[in-house]
Chain A
Amino acid sequence: MHIIGAQLAEKLKAEMLVEAPGVNTVSFDSIVACDMMSDLLSMMNHGGGDSGVSALLTGLTNKQVVRTAEMVDIKLIVFANGKRPLAETIELAERCGISLASTEYTMFRSCGILFECGMKDVGGSN
């Protein structure tokens, strides 16, 4: 399953807060969900590399999330539970070309929906 940013946001009824150029031309095929930055980096390091593009689901809204995402080429961050990013987070995301969205759904429900529609784990398993 490959979907563009707008479709992914639509599945989660998420509001796009930062729409970086390209978010609707790259296709996402995997999701990583976590609240600890080193867990994210650890999972992305197992990913075996450059297959598809991943989106991040998280409850963290500070700018370190964007920095960490940038390191591993994550192009879309979705904040669960209706969380809103800080102003500095939005600013950095715009500079890094990373898109941000916010969904009212919980992390659990968001993951369930994306799993159901065929998105993979990073690293490829489904």
Chain B
Amino acid sequence: MSGGSDSEEKIRMQLPIRGGDFSKAGEASSKIKNILKQLGVSPAVIKRVAIACFESEINIVAYANKGQFSVDITTGEIRVLAKDEGPGIECVEMAMMEGFSTAPPELREMGFGAGMGLPNIKKAVDWMKIESQVGVGTELEFKILFGGGENG
């Protein structure tokens, strides 16, 4: 169709995340943040995306063997599927509570393990879903609307 609108233009990316490698932890989130900046998304929305991505990336690095972000950006929203292969979460409900953490001392020394990561993600996003299977891995999916959204 000639002259069709490109308002549904999409950016799709896969960003691999290595478990245990704290030297690179945060790089995938940083990349996403920079793309949104280039797209002219508002700083307040970018901050929420960065917080959700970063917390989820750190969890993969901290707890899983490996994982990846599958990112979908349209003119109206960003969707991130953070999928990992790892130990999984025994009780998601408990993991979602503020202060719940199984982080070992090494992690705490780096400033992680407050048990605030998942609650932070929940506060930052417009929608999220988390599914986990013990011994297999965890899938966390979230969406943030660029138009301000309910948390905007």
Contact = CB atoms under 8 A, between A and B. Distances in A.
Given A38-B55, A45-B123, A73-B47, A60 B30 contact: no
Interface string A61-94: 0111101101111000000000000001000000
B111 A68 contact: yes
B114 A39 contact: yes
A21 interface: no
A95 B25 CA distance: 15
A67 B26 contact: yes
A60 B111 contact: yes
A20 interface: no
Contacts of A41: 51, 54-55, 116, 120
B143 interface: no
19 contacts: A36-B114, A37-B112, A38-B115, A38-B116, A39-B114, A41-B54, A41-B120, A42-B116, A50-B43, A60-B111, A62-B111, A64-B111, A67-B26, A70-B33, A71-B26, A71-B30, A71-B50, A71-B51, A88-B23
A72 B110 CA distance: 18
Interface residues of A, number: 25
A62 B123 CA distance: 26
Interface string B39-82: 00011100110110011001000000000000000000000000
Given A42-B123, A65-B111, 20 more contacts: A36-B112, A36-B116, A38-B55, A38-B116, A38-B117, A38-B120, A39-B116, A41-B55, A44-B51, A45-B124, A49-B44, A50-B42, A62-B110, A63-B23, A64-B26, A64-B110, A64-B111, A67-B25, A72-B47, A73-B43
Contacts of A50: 42-44, 47
A10 interface: no
Interface-centre pick from A41, A45, A88 (highest chain B CB count, 10 A): A41
Size bin of chain B's contact surface? 20 to 34
A64 B22 contact: yes
B33 A71 contact: yes
A49 B26 contact: no
Contacts of B138: none
